[in-house]
Structure 1
Amino acid sequence: MDTKSHLIETATTLFQQKGYKTVGLNEILKACNVTKGALYHHFPNGKDELLVTCLLALKEDITTDIQTIFSKHLSTKDAIISMIDTLIHSFEKTGTITGYTFSSIVSEMATMSEEVRKACSDLYENIEHIYCTKLLEDGFSKEAATAMSLLLTASIEGAMMLCLTQQSTDPLKTIAKLLPNIMEKF
């Protein structure tokens, strides 16, 4: 793996686990075993530029993962259950959901930097768009699909944060039971 990719991957994990403000530049450098010069070579604007690049990489990875899951299922209901099962399995295997959630970064940084807020907003919009497209294929009206995609995004993101804080998969398991029923009644 090249230095830039290693910096992005390592910083993303650290930011997700500890938060942007808590992770110091020296911690990133030490974890990557690189010099400050190497970091500034790839990210001339430093840690802020690295964060935005991490968010863009997350956007790509999460979008690809969700699209892959959704392409394997005929209905949104089945795709959502599969996606939640993937998240539960990840948490049970590793004790975290790193790679899927970026809410900690959003809550910490979105009001401090327009560039970070925009990167986070774009990622949420991508997720909602995937859900909305599948819901439209299921026969939902545009208005209902848009509303339901927001509900799905908020529920899944919220459940992931609760899993991390409670150190339990119960929040994801609960929404896995409730969301399909809500979708049928919507």
Structure 2
Amino acid sequence: MDTKSLIIDIATKLFQQKGYMGVGLNEILKACNISKGSLYHHFPNGKEELLIACLQTLNEAITTDIEDIFQRYSTTQEAAIGMIEQLIMKFETEGTLTGYTFSSIVSEMASLSDPVRMACAQLYQKIQHIYSNKLAADGFSKDTASSIALMMTASIEGGMMLCLTQNATEPLRVISKVLPNMIKEF
């Protein structure tokens, strides 16, 4: 792994675990075993530029996972259940959903930095687009598919945060049962 990728990988984990404000540059440097000059070589604008690179990497990883899952199932309901089951399994085996949620970064930084807010918005838009496309393939109109996709994104992301705060999978299990019925009712 090259130095830039190493920095992004380690910083992403630190930001997800401790939040943007909770991670100092020195902690990143120490965890990566690099100098300040090396970090600024790759990220001349510092920590915020690094955060945006981390969000872009998360964007790619998360949406690739979602796309893979949604291609394996014939309907949105089946795909959503499959994705939620994967999240539950990850939480049960690893005790966390690091790598799948970035809500803590959004809540911490969105009002402080337009570039960070926009990077987060792009990820949510890409997730909703995946959902919306699958819903359109299921026969929903573009507007209805867009509305359901927004609801799915909010429900699943909120469910992940509730799992983390409750240290339990029950929120995602409930969403897995309720979400398919909500989609049918639309």
Q: Distance in 1 between matches of 2:168 and 2:30?
A: 31
Q: Structure 2: 5+ residue runs without aligned partners?
A: none
User: SS where residue 44 of structure 2 aligns?
Assistant: coil
Structure 1 match to 2:49:
49
1:121 aligned partner, one-letter code: A
Residues 7-60 of structure 1 show CA distances to partners (whole Å, capped at 9, x for unaligned) of 001111111111000011111111111111110111011101000000111111
1:132-158 CA-partner distances (Å, limit 9, x unpaired): 000000001112111100000000000
TM-score by length of 2: 0.99
Correspondence 1:149-164 to 2 at 5 A? 149-164=149-164
Match runs of 1:54-133 below 5 Å: 54-133=54-133
Which amino acid letter does the alignment assign opposite residue 89 of structure 1? M
Distance in 2 separating the partners of 1:3 and 1:167: 34
Aligned to 2:170: 170
Q: Distance in 2 between matches of 1:164 and 1:16?
A: 12
The Cα of 1:104 is off from its aligned counterpart by 0.3
What does the per-residue CA deviation read over 1:76-116, in whole Å, with 9 as the maximum and x for residues that have no partner?
00100010011111111111001110000000001111100
CA RMSD of aligned residues (A): 0.6
Name the SS of the counterpart of 1:48 in structure 2. Answer: helix
Equivalent residues, number: 186
Whole-angstrom CA distance in 2 between matches of 1:13 and 1:69: 23
Task: Point out where structure 1 has 5 or more consecutive residues left out of the alignment.
Answer: none
Q: Secondary structure at the match of 1:93?
A: helix
Separation in 2 of the partners of 1:127 and 1:175? 17
